[in-house]
Amino acid sequence: MDVLVTGADQRQGLAVIRSLGRHGISVVAAGPATDSLGFSSRYAAAQWVYPSPFEQPKAFVDSICEAARRFRVRLVIPVVESTVAVLNEHRDEIEAIAPLATASREAVALALDKRGQYLLAQQHEIPIPKTMVPCSMQEVDARIGGLHFPVVVKPNQKPLGTSGSSYDFKVTFVNDEDSLRKLLGIYFRHSVVPIVQEFCVGHGIGFGVLMHGGQPLACYQYHRGREFMPTGGVPVRYESMPIWPKVQDYSIRFLQAMGWEGVAQVEWKAVPGTQDVVLMEVNGRFWASLPGSLHAGMDFPFWLYESRQGRPVQQAQAYRLKIASQYLHADLKRLELVLRNDFPFSSVPLAPRWRECVDFLLDGLRWRVKGDIWSWDDWSPGLQEARKIFMYFWNRANKRAVGPKAEG
């Protein structure tokens, strides 16, 4: 086999499998469950189920090593963050068998360290939101008066491995000082470093890039039109747009400062009414909205493979603009939230609820709106996703499911 791809249970993993398979590259699709989305793709030459990298990191590494040996792969491409993080810690073991398609150990560690990213951004005069990384409740008490609410709280690094708590450290939006103190108390009790940022209003901008030899080989920008949740999060309807000079300049300078090689996505928040931006984070891997890049003509997975094989990357033409992509399952969940007004606030002004419904329905008729999962030449994953959507809302109707949860 040519390549082993992790994260086959996610839409970006499926996109990587399809991109490589369409070029005749044999792919081992690896995922954490037997029903992983990418397993049903016609472009998956083989399937491999691995233990959870969160709960069993050592068993996960051993499993990937076994798969790489058994299929004699030439390259291992970790797609989702959990697999990137664990394989980076054990890269000597895996690279004794096959190279990892990631940046250096140090660069990947920095991409997983949000505090380190913000410090680096400040050094290179790249704008970031007002940020606090407290080490104790005493520091919180001393600095909380300088914050403007609401604020966003997220872990500096997502905890890996088993822990004594089932608490899920995800991005949380906090409206007042008391709620912030309670939440940070949980972080400190479990020795998780919190990042506290003032909430930024504005549309999300994504910048995807392939770096090689310290220079960008391919760049792509998209507008995160609808996100789950409306407060901000995973893009569920987004479209390609022209590259803004500031976004490109900041992104490339920042990745060069990191010493980055390979694919990455830099996430920005646009200041309303301008082309000024502030840095949200860097994802040192394939991003969740990768399918939209492919629809616009940016074949990042194949170009990454070619660059790793020492072959020149040739971008035939500029990518197509205003090509939109939709993650239907999460977009339906978002529409339900909007109709029920079941969210604290929105990062962008929302249209009236009737207009939200009309726009959602019209997307099903617009030729330029593609599906993240559905594909006419590879329809089995789309059918699998359709069944998942039906079962979710059937259970909701029968009151057997809890409220919608964030994807990604």
257 with 276, same domain? yes
DSSP strand E in 242-392: where?
262-270, 277-283, 324-326, 369-371
Q: Is the pLDDT of residue 316 over 80?
A: no
What tokens does 25 get?
Answer: 């590259």
311 with 330, same domain? no
**Residue 135 neighbours by CB under 8 Å, 6+ apart:** 193
193 with 212, same domain? no
- Type and span of the H or E element at 289: none
Q: What percent of the chain has pLDDT over 70?
A: 95
In this prediction, residue 396 carries a pLDDT of 83
Cα–Cα distance measured from residue 349 to residue 353, given in angstroms and rounded to the nearest whole number: 12
216 with 150, same domain? no
Q: Is the pLDDT of residue 242 over 70?
A: yes
In this prediction, residue 182 carries a pLDDT of 93
For range 387-403, the mean pLDDT:
79
For range 352-356, the mean pLDDT:
94
Q: Is the pLDDT of residue 187 over 70?
A: yes
0.95 exceeded by pTM: no
Q: How many domains does the chain have?
A: 4
One-letter amino acid identity for 402? V
Domain extent at residue 257: 204-323
Least confident residue range of 51-60, 140-149, 199-208, 248-257: 140-149
In this prediction, residue 400 carries a pLDDT of 54
**Residue 309 neighbours by CB under 8 Å, 6+ apart:** 74, 75
Any domain includes 123: no
97 with 18, same domain? yes
Dihedral sign computed on CA atoms, order 366, 372, 373, 376: positive
Q: Is the pLDDT of residue 401 over 90?
A: no
**Residue 178 neighbours by CB under 8 Å, 6+ apart:** none
In this prediction, residue 265 carries a pLDDT of 97
Q: Is the pLDDT of residue 206 over 70?
A: yes
332 with 315, same domain? no
For range 126-142, the mean pLDDT:
93
Pick the last residue of a domain from 198, 227, 249: 198
The angle that helices 57-71 and 81-89 make with each other, rounded to 10 degrees, is 90
CATH number for the domain including 247? 3.30.470.20
Q: Is the pLDDT of residue 408 over 80?
A: no
Q: Tell me which of 229 and 94 has the higher pLDDT.
A: 94
For range 270-299, the mean pLDDT:
95
In this prediction, residue 404 carries a pLDDT of 43
Any domain includes 239: yes
293 with 336, same domain? no
- Exposed, middle or buried by CB within 10 Å (0-12, 13-18, 19+), for 247? buried
In this prediction, residue 159 carries a pLDDT of 63
CB 197 within 8 A of CB 151: yes
Any domain includes 135: yes
In this prediction, residue 165 carries a pLDDT of 46
CATH number for the domain including 20? 3.40.50.720
Coarse DSSP helix, strand, coil percentages of the chain, rounded to the nearest 5 percent: 40, 20, 40
